[in-house]
Amino acid sequence: MADLSQEDWTKQLEEDNNSVVLDVRTQEEVDEGIIPNALHIDIYKGQGFIYELEELDKTKNYYVYCRSGGRSGQACAIMAQLGFNKAYNLVGGFNEWQGEVANQE
């Protein structure tokens, strides 16, 4: 797991063709906007969060964010325990996101 600044996270993501963006916020937060093409799994689902993580491809690189960087840091730690080797936490989270924002369909 690595904590990346907004700039580093975005740059690395743009150059990564094996990436998945993972949003671990609540549905209410996601309703306010989401990074385009992000996969949404609410970390507050508890065991359900872990079940959904276990369905994911562990060979991919995960770019994880929440509102401010705290929950996504926890998510990266959980992912490491589950055998994910590459999970990158967005420091500052969605609050400091300068990139494109989409509305969830």
Query: Domains of the chain: which residue ranges?
Result: 2-96
Q: How confident is the model at residue 105 (pLDDT cuts 50, 70, 90)?
A: low
pLDDT in tens, 51-73: 999 999 999 999 999 999 999 99
Give me the pLDDT at residue 103, please.
84
pTM of the entire predicted model: 0.95
d(CA 3, CA 60): 17
Residues labelled catalytic: 66
Contacts with 102 (C-beta within 8 Å, 6 or more apart), sequence order: 33, 34, 35, 36, 37
Task: Confirm or reject CATH 3.40.250.10 for domain 2-96, answering yes or no.
Answer: yes
Beta carbons of 65 and 93 less than 8 angstroms apart: yes
